Amino acid sequence: MPTVKPKKLNIREILTPVAFVLVAVIAIGRLFYLQIVSYDKFKTDTSGSISSETGVKASRGRILDSNGIVLADNKTVERVFISPADMSGDAERQLVADNLSRILDVDYDTIYEKTLKKKRKDETIKKNVEKEEADMVRAFVAKYNLKSVHLVTSSTRFYPFSNLLSHVLGFVGSDNQGLYGIEYQYNDYLTGVDGKIITAKNGLGQDMPYDYEQYIEPQNGYNLILTIDQTLQSILEKYLEECLEESGADNRVTGVIMDPKTGGILAMATKPDFDCNSPYVLDKKSQTELENCGLEPGSEEYMKYNTTLLMQMWKNKAINDLYEPGSTFKPLTVAMALEEKVVTHDTSFYCPGYHEVAGYGKVHCYRTWGHGAMTLDLGLQMSCNPVLMMTAERLGEDTFYNYYEAFGYTGLTGIDLPGEASGIYHSWRDFNNVQLAVYSFGQTFKTTAIQQLTAVSSLANKGNLLTPHLVKRIEDDNGNVIVDFETNVKRQVISEQIAGEVINVLEQGVAEKRGSSNAGVKGYKVAAKTGTSEKRDKQDKEGGYSLRIASCVSIAPADDPAVSMIVIVDEPTLSREEGSMIAAPYNSKIMSEVLPYLGYLPDYTGENDKYKSVSLGNYVGMSIEDAKTAIKKAGLSVEVIGEGYSVNAQMPSAGTEISVSSGKVLLYASGDGSEKTVTVPDLIGKSVDECKELLSQRGLNVNLSGTPAPSSCFAVKQYPEANATVRAGAVINVEFRISESDDHTHLQD
Strands (E), 546-689: 548-556, 563-570, 613-615, 637-641, 649-651, 657-659, 664-668, 677-679
Provide CATH code, domain 609-738.
Answer: 3.30.10.20
Q: Are 60 and 183 in contact (CB under 8 A)?
A: no
First to last CA, the chain: 149
| Residue 490 to residues 157, 263, 466, Cα–Cα distance (Å) | 36, 11, 5
Closest Cα to residue 651, out of 662, 632, 660, 638?
638
CA pair distance 58, 156, nearest whole angstrom: 10
Please write the tens of the pLDDT for every residue from 334-365: 999 999 999 999 999 999 999 999 989 999 99
The domain 325-553 is placed in CATH, from the list 3.40.50.720, 3.40.710.10, 2.60.40.10, 3.40.30.10, at 3.40.710.10
Band of residue 673 on the pLDDT scale cut at 50, 70, 90? very low
Structural fold of domain 53-226: Penicillin-binding protein 2a (Domain 2) (3.90.1310)
Band of residue 209 on the pLDDT scale cut at 50, 70, 90? low
CA pair distance 311, 274, nearest whole angstrom: 11
Rg of the chain in Å (alpha carbons): 37
Please write the tens of the pLDDT for every residue from 586-595: 999 999 999 9
- Residues paired with 362 in a beta bridge: 356
**What's residue 643's pLDDT?**
77
| Identity of the residue numbered 729 | G
Residues listed for the chain: 749
Q: Are 699 and 678 in contact (CB under 8 A)?
A: yes
How do 548-556 and 527-534 pair as beta strands?
antiparallel
Closest Cα to residue 527, out of 515, 535, 536?
515
Strands (E), 583-724: 613-615, 637-641, 649-651, 657-659, 664-668, 677-679, 701-706, 713-719
Q: What percent of the chain has pLDDT over 70?
A: 86
Please write the tens of the pLDDT for every residue from 505-541: 999 999 887 778 899 998 899 999 999 998 888 888 8
Cβ–Cβ contacts within 10 Å for residue 113, how many?
13
pLDDT at 228 over 70: yes
More confidently predicted of 576 and 637: 637
Q: What percent of the chain has pLDDT over 90?
A: 61
Whether residue 720 has a cis bond before it, omega within 30° of 0: yes
CA pair distance 197, 73, nearest whole angstrom: 25
Band of residue 107 on the pLDDT scale cut at 50, 70, 90? very high
Backbone angles phi, psi at 154, to 5 degrees: -145, -170
String of DSSP letters for 51-103:
EEEEEEPPPPPPEE-TTS-EEEEEEEEEEEEE-GGG--SHHHHHHHHHHHHHH
Closest Cα to residue 435, out of 478, 407, 394, 401?
401
Band of residue 33 on the pLDDT scale cut at 50, 70, 90? low
Strands (E), 83-230: 123-129, 149-158, 171-172, 178-180, 195-200, 213-216, 223-226
Lowest mean pLDDT among 47-56, 410-419, 576-585, 647-656: 47-56
**What's residue 243's pLDDT?**
95
| Overall average pLDDT of the 55-59 stretch | 74
**What's residue 1's pLDDT?**
45
Extents of the domains making up the chain:
11-47, 53-226, 325-553, 609-738
